[in-house]
Chains A and B, each alone.
Chain A
Amino acid sequence: MSATEPPLVAIRDLCKSFGAVRVLEGVSLDVPRGSVVVLIGASGSGKTTLLRCVNALETYDSGSITVEGTEVGFRAPGRRRGEGELAAIRAGIGMVFQQFNLFPHLTAAENVMLGLRKVRKLDKEEARSRAIHWLERVGLGAKTESLPGELSGGQQQRVGIARAVAMEPKLLLLDEITSALDPELVGEVLAVVRRLAGDGMTMLVVTHEMAFARDVGDRVVFMDAGRIAVEGKPRDVLVDPQHPRLRSFLSRVELKRAEEDA
């Protein structure tokens, strides 16, 4: 990665309100190609909203998000993109959700195949073989014909990851993907993400797993009340926090973790 290469994702002065509530107040952030940027912060700090703005699941009021130089939310200043343009942009950005959001009426393989067939326009055989390839990579080669309701939470989330990465996105968004899992299932999901990070996948990650953030994050961003309060290398941000709000956030997270372990 050269120092002059433009970042894959560039967010500038992003602002968003839900009615009278301002959730993002001038956020600027770069995600360099091949890096993992981790967003942490209390609930309501705006980190999930920020993530959802990047693939236009939320609109933003002002500022800019570009992915590979393309403005996500607007066709031209003040003119929002239409449904077809948004679909094309989203097809290049993968997302994995806190609640998995698998399609319950489709098998694991069909969940992965849907985007390959209808968006990538692959024929059925090719889509199936690619889906099975990715399901094997997340350790679910034996579950390709299972319905989501027949899988554990950790298995469902791994299908969710396979569904996103099978599209070969240039960017992967992970939204608290282990928060809905039983503690003993967290490890298997994070192992898959570590492997993707090792393969050079560019990721923007919202998480409450601080050990994971330290482990895979190239940069950690602490959000507070709709702003970026602290940004830096994981070691600097997480190990020796200077910012008072960050310090109290980290001690609350640790306390909760200790209670869960007890």
Chain B
Amino acid sequence: MSAIINALPSIWGGLVITLALSALVVLFSLIAGVILGLAILWAPAPVRLAIRAYSDVIRSIPLLVLIFFVYYGTPALGIPLSPFWAAVIALSAFKTGHIIEIVRGAVGSIPRGQTDAGKAIGLTFVQRLTYVILPQALRRFLPPWLNAVTDSVKGSALASLVGVVDLMLSLQQVIGRTYEPMPIYVIGALIYFVINFTLSSASRRLEARFAYVRD
């Protein structure tokens, strides 16, 4: 028991790394995914094709392969990356593929008539996006996106395999010192659960808030 309590500071350190890693991945993939997801709907054909190819390829590669590829591949290109940043880049690139599809689905599912109605009152393309399409798309975007966020948190555990001392690796290090795998893994599972359960209940509250018909 005391061994476990002694281990808490290093588990805490790992948790901070996991949260930082996940937050960066969520942020970068959100920015890139929204831009590319909108571009896949409206950009000129060659750009659309390039984004489509990126999304299809990146989502077909196992995440672990992608992490190894970035971590072991970038030094060969003369840009050595720390394990942490290699993981951030690999995970963000992977998650961006998903966000592109979520944005495309959310925006693309807004009925054509909404665009017609926006045009008919004289709104420009940017105004239609800002006041008509995106506010409606946001509601369809949030649930799958928050799902993707919890996926990112879980996926970040793979970063431990290139030596990022995140929650996962710090748990394993504690187990290495204490030889008590069960309680330590239970603690780890609980921490992951608390993070993701918080996110998914936030998601449900947001969904309710963005409903068009008030209860």
Which residues of A are interface residues toward B (Cβ below 8 A)? 55-57, 83-84, 86-88, 90-95, 97, 99, 101-105, 114-115, 118-119, 147-150, 163-164, 167
Contacts and interface: CB of A to CB of B under 8 A. Distances in A.
A147 B214 contact: yes
Contacts of B131: 103, 114, 118
B122 A101 contact: no
Contact of A57 (B116, B132, B214): B116
Nearest to A88: B122
A115 B212 contact: no
B77 interface: no
B117 A97 contact: yes
Contacts of B122: 87-88, 90-92, 115, 119, 167
Contact of A90 (B119, B125, B135, B212): B119
B82 interface: no
A71 to B, nearest CB: 17
Contact of B124 (A87, A93, A94, A95): A87
Interface of B: 111, 113-114, 116-125, 127, 131-132, 135-136, 139, 212-214
B120 A164 contact: yes
Find the residue from B111, B114, B212 having the highest chain A CB count within 10 A.
B212
A105 B123 contact: no
B4 to A, nearest CB: 50
A97 B123 CA distance: 16
Given A87-B122, A105-B136, 6 more contacts: A56-B119, A87-B124, A95-B117, A115-B121, A119-B122, A163-B121
Contacts of A115: 121-123
A94 B213 contact: no
A207 to B, nearest CB: 18
A84 B124 CA distance: 6
Contacts of A118: 123, 127, 131
B119 A87 contact: yes
A63 B166 CA distance: 67
Contact of B135 (A56, A97, A105): A105
A219 B113 CA distance: 28
B212 A97 contact: no
Nearest to B122: A91
Contact of A101 (B113, B125, B214): B113
Contacts of B212: 104-105, 147-149
Contacts of B119: 55-57, 86-87, 90
22 contacts: A84-B124, A86-B119, A87-B119, A87-B127, A94-B120, A95-B120, A97-B116, A97-B117, A97-B120, A99-B113, A101-B116, A101-B117, A103-B117, A104-B136, A105-B135, A115-B122, A115-B123, A119-B122, A119-B127, A148-B212, A149-B213, A164-B120
